Structure 1
């Protein structure tokens, strides 16, 4: 979802009562179109704390922001952005999300989330045997598959080896190698019917026959164990993806590991050397996680293998680079309330959503009334050609006398033509079907659900003023984003000549501070730092020094060559800037010596060095000119009497 906090200060998620609107509530008109005082009052109260400019916090100052906001919306509509497919799709997604707060499905979702929470306290280890048959199979094929799995189950119940039966009969890919063994899994790892059977089957027993979209299964549960709780760790990371580096990442992580084994402080080394800048400033500390939360299974496995707080892992390789991990804390299992939002999200996105949908549809039908009028199958089975199975069906006109009503929701009729249009559109994104009848049943269920929810949302906007206000703000926020993207952000981004010209005019604003070309030596003790000074004085290279001082498995010195601005964090505080070998500076429990080869004076940065900053300033300049053109294009008339009343009320 697009982030509108970068677009405008009119936040989109508050709930405020909307007072009734009449002629005297008109605060202003833009080209004759009214803007009501109630809208201004709502956004003023809600967003005042977000305004950083004190001059804009009074009503008059804020009114100018509000006018600019409404002018951008007017221009977006004038450019037809409210008719764009992307806009309509994004708005529809948000309306669906927002309406969930008012739909009946939340209670059902909460119950399923609670069930998932209780199951999620355990991991299940199981094996299974699958006989494949899909939902579109012919009845005789379905029966044959059922009878086959039934026979296998009877043999297993009589004591035949389950693994051998799986190896011989299971139609799961790879079953001959795995013998049906699934290992440990937890809630949401398997399709819901399979998961339910696994959790309901006692250890050592075999489940009833389970039907899923894959076919028929039987499950043997071999173990259940308590699920692993969240843990908190710290890490030091050396990236191997930072381009050409002046050191070997694997060698560097092994050096740091040796320093830790020698008793060096973990937090200090993380602050000084870790390439994960976000955690480095916190001494390497990461947010708590459990298995599956991170995109690095090697990292998770290594972290969970640590037994006691303070334990360190050996260097671990992941897709992000090399890590040393320290276990900080083990947490108890989270409460339902702590997990509720995440669990409900998974319920509504997974195959449990069918249960939620069915219950929600029933409630909407009860609230507004629902009546089926005609059976769709006889007509559509003939009307649809086999092209629908190739997803190439083209809708042909349905004569008026054949356009019957499918069903009625409240005061709205849904007809054969409505269903035919849905089928033509929906076929583009559907999975392949073998049978026309199966497709029709699935599409009808989807269509009925869509019509029920659309009717509920339409009525909700009429019946609930809070919902209508929030939805309208989101409409406006989307348009603001799109009109800014089209007229400012993309325009600036694609105007390389304009950016270059703007840089040429403002290059005096972009300067390097004084810099040094140097090598930084971080020693574990003052004595080793003194030896570094001495060897540098003798003309020894960085490699000579490391070879001499890092003996055996002991790392006493790390070197970091490069060009540094004088206030960069890598350099010690109060470093005396002069060429040659520096004094020794204590820093983060290390002792630093800097060998300065060259002092580079302040100077202008190239466009490549500051392209992001230049582009941002250029876009701000474009926006200023654009807003001037909008004020010239649109006539804004403020109702002074209404403004006076608003000021008095907002005091």
Structure 2
């Protein structure tokens, strides 16, 4: 939301209305038989006012019903608002490039929560976060397909996967089988043991299968882009959240025949040194750690969660329970480590993780799955009928050519109907025009025609869904009105009230002169008021002011000699002050020079100077107030002018129905 539109909504709030609504015929509610009022020749439906007032009251659901007086006040404000919107439209402010650009940007953001895709994404977000409450320890065997695999090859791989599952169910060790059969490159090192992981750390089919199993259970063959997997879940635990550790690394010199023994002895000596009470961890890290990225920072590593580090390191880190606890040496493929626990924290809330989860979901295969589900729902809802024979024929002919060739073929060939949507046909000519307009290169994993046809159908379906949303979803339509008219209101008010009031110096001066009675000083006195925060310093301040006359020089010397030497002991105020309403000076004896006054729980030293009788403020002294009042005057003049320009007629019956609806 831009600052200018935020300002528009603030102004509406100050007017007493939640937010604005539009007035074009396109925006009107389908039930237009009895408008609440007309402004000029334009009918305004009662649903607009009901929506605005109801929305404004949502923050306080326990509020009693609206009184007649409150309702009439809101109706008057609503009419004033609608007058300004109509004037903005008559001036063409809704046709400017700036308005269209800003409104289209808002519309794109506002529609998202109402679209089918959003509800499906929300479901995936919630499912992923629910799964994140657990971590799963699993092992697997991966069987890959040979290059350019035939259907028979796929069946052979599947049969092998089923055979291995049967062996595991009959007691065979999945880790030993993984060492022998798994085509996962890491299997030779980890025997298929994946350690602990949680949601969004594995490809979706693998994750779905793993989270459906209980400890000890073995999956059916799971198909992913890598091949077939057999998965056995070893354990499920509550997610321990995140941990932060520092570490010391001792590397193994592979060039030495006894390199591992040397590293083992060295890390054992370091561990013994750490046990001494006099040892400082950071010094040991700087002296001995062979991790160049952390050795000068106390060995500190970033926060990490389960599934982010190699299993041995991760298990050691999460097994530490007390802050400052040090682990025994552990070995990983990087060498030997000693870990110290720095901090732990639980899994973050859904709200704080929502955008991160969304980003990860939209980057993996779940995004494709969601898109497929969206299209399936759209096709069913809006009567999508594909001409399967034509589509299949074009796929066979056009999938293995270039994009330029595809465009040429579609333009040169006879136009054929691809599908109908809500009874409207879409042809190969429409597809050709779509490709020509987009100016992008498509991912042709499934063939160039199929990729473009899928994109074309998706765009048409999205357009139909959005049109249906605008026509039939009242909440969305009303919300869109709010933002549309908020932009228009700002444009009109900024031009005719706010900027004019701010920049029209001649108008400001004339308004000041015509209303000079509103810009008057009350009786004032020149005063120095020192609030004494530390009573031990009272005498110091008192001695500096005793027997002195108030002047600029005195204030300057008091500030430099007393205040600056002990600034926390005093607070100071000085100048010409209206004393009758001042909390301290209202108690002052104007005939005394220096006096002590108790006010608001503090002792004040007050030094008085000359008194100035009531009189008019200078224009320069009143400029801020004049601008404010002049802008309000311009606003009222604008409303008066618009009421004469656009006749207002209120339907008494609709008005009563609106009042009743708001009090139900």
Q: SS in structure 1 opposite 2:38?
A: strand
* Matching residue of 2:80: 68
Q: Please tell me whether the aligned partners of residues 30 and 637 of structure 1 are also in contact (alpha carbons under 8 angstroms).
A: yes
For 2:509 and 2:261, locate their aligned partners in 1 and report how far apart those are by CA, in whole Å.
Answer: 80
CA distance in 2, matches of 1:594, 1:341: 54
Cα gap change, 1:476 to 1:159, in 2 (>3 Å): farther
Distance change (3 Å), C-alpha of 1:578 and 1:27? closer
Comparing 625-634 and 33-42, the one that deviates more: 33-42
CA-to-aligned-CA distance 1:251-303 (integer Å, 9 cap, x gap): xxxxxxxxxxxxxxxxxxxxxxxxxxxxxxxxxxxxxxxxxxxxxxxxxxxxx
Distance in 2 (CA, whole Å) between partners of 1:406 and 1:124 is: 57
Change (3 A) 1:469 1:594: same
Consecutive unaligned residues in structure 2, runs of 5 or more = 22-26, 135-238, 248-253, 264-290, 317-332
Report the Cα offset of residue 44 of structure 1. Answer: 4.9
The yes-or-no answer on 1:364 pairing with 2:368 is: no
Q: C-alpha distance in 1, partners of 2:579/2:51?
A: 46
Per-residue CA deviation, residues 219-241 of structure 1 (Å, 9 max, x unaligned), is 9996765457xxxxxxxxxxxxx
Contact residue 204 and residue 223 of structure 1 kept, 8 A:
no
Structural mapping, 1:571-590, within 5 Å: 572=584, 574-576=586-588, 578=590, 581-586=593-598, 590=602
Partner of 2:11: 6
Contact residue 121 and residue 226 of structure 1 kept, 8 A: no
The alignment status of 1:458 with 2:568, answered yes or no, reads: no
Do the aligned partners of 1:203 and 1:223 also contact (CA within 8 Å) in 2? no
- 1:532 aligned residue: 541
- Across the two proteins, how many residue pairs are aligned to each other? 458
Whether the 8 Å CA contact 1:515–1:566 is kept in 2: the answer is: yes
Tell me how far apart the structure 2 counterparts of residues 584 and 419 of structure 1 sit (CA, whole Å): 85
> 1:643 & 1:353 partners in 2: Cα distance?
49
Deviation at 1:368, TM superposition (A): 1.0
User: Aligned partners of 1:480 and 1:594: how far apart in 2?
Assistant: 50
Q: Distance in 2 between matches of 1:612 and 1:445?
A: 61
> How far is 1:186 from its partner?
4.9
Query: C-alpha displacement at 1:63, in angstroms?
Result: 3.9
- The aligned counterpart of 2:503 is 494
Distance 1:180 1:529, change over 3 A: closer
Which residue is 1:558 aligned to? 570
What does residue range 104-115 of structure 1 map to in structure 2 within 5 Å?
104=119, 105-111=121-127
Q: Secondary structure at the match of 2:113?
A: coil
| Secondary structure of the structure 2 residue equivalent to 1:591 | strand
Residue 464 of structure 1: how far off its partner (Å): 2.7
Q: 2 CA distance for matches of 1:400 and 1:423?
A: 19
Structure 2 match to 1:622: 634
- Determine the C-alpha separation between the residues in 1 that align with 2:573 and 2:423: 76
2:493 corresponds in structure 1 to 484
CA 1:379–1:583: 2 relative to 1, 3 Å: farther
In the TM superposition, 1:237-636 aligns within 5 A as 339-345=349-355, 347=357, 353-354=362-363, 358=368, 360-369=370-379, 382=404, 415-423=431-439, 454-523=463-532, 528-530=537-539, 532-537=541-546, 557-558=569-570, 560=572, 562-563=574-575, 565-566=577-578, 572=584, 574-576=586-588, 578=590, 581-586=593-598, 590-636=602-648
Distance between the aligned counterparts of 1:120 and 1:512, measured in 2?
Answer: 67
TM-score by length of 2: 0.52
Report if the CA contact (8 A) 1:511-1:602 is conserved: yes
Tell me how far apart the structure 2 counterparts of residues 415 and 453 of structure 1 sit (CA, whole Å).
Answer: 15
Match of 1:91? 103
CA contact (8 A) 1:519 1:560 kept: yes
DSSP 3-state at the match of 1:565: strand
C-alpha distance in 2, partners of 1:23/1:556? 68
Which of the residues 20, 27, 32 maps onto 2:36?
A: 27
Deviations 1:380-415 (A, max 9, x none): 85499xxxxxxxxxxx9x968699999988778573
Is the CA contact (8 Å cut-off) linking 1:403 and 1:417 kept in structure 2? Answer: no
Structure 1 contact 68–627 (Cα < 8 Å) conserved:
yes
Q: Measure the CA separation in 2 of the matches of 1:446 and 1:568.
A: 75
SS at 1:469 equivalent: helix
Alpha-carbon distance between aligned partners in 2 of 1:446 and 1:611, rounded to the nearest angstrom: 60
Q: Go from structure 1 to structure 2 and tell me whether the alpha carbon gap of 1:557 and 1:108 turns closer, same or farther (over 3 Å shift).
A: same
Q: Secondary structure at the match of 1:6?
A: helix
Report the CA distance between 1:576 and its aligned residue.
Answer: 0.9
Which residue in 1 is equivalent to 2:242?
122
**Partner residue of 1:79?**
91
> Which of residues 310, 313, 316 is equivalent to 1:203?
313
Q: What is aligned with 1:57? A: 70
Contact 2:527 2:577 in 1 (8 A): no
Corresponding residue for residue 162 of structure 2: none
Alignment partner, residue 258 of structure 1: none
Shift of 1:488: 2.2
Cα 1:79/1:368, change in 2 over 3 Å: same
Please give the alpha-carbon distance, in whole angstroms, between the structure 2 residues aligned to 1:91 and 1:419: 27
Residues in 1 aligned to 2:463 and 2:311: alpha-carbon distance in whole angstroms? 40
Q: 1:544-590 deviations in whole A, cap 9, x for unaligned?
A: 87899899x98784363632635699974644153764322345665
Return the alpha-carbon distance in structure 1 between the equivalents of residues 88 and 560 of structure 2: 66
CA separation of 1:624/1:367 partners in 2, compared to 1, >3 Å: closer, same or farther? same
For residue 91 of structure 1, give the secondary structure of its aligned residue in structure 2.
Answer: helix
1:493 aligned counterpart, secondary structure: helix
Give the TM-score normalised by structure 1: 0.53
RMSD: 5.8
Using the TM superposition, name which of 523-532 and 497-506 deviates more. Answer: 523-532
The Cα of 1:498 is off from its aligned counterpart by 1.8
3-state SS of the aligned residue for 2:507? helix
Deviation at 1:637, TM superposition (A): 3.9
Give the match for residue 229 of structure 2: none
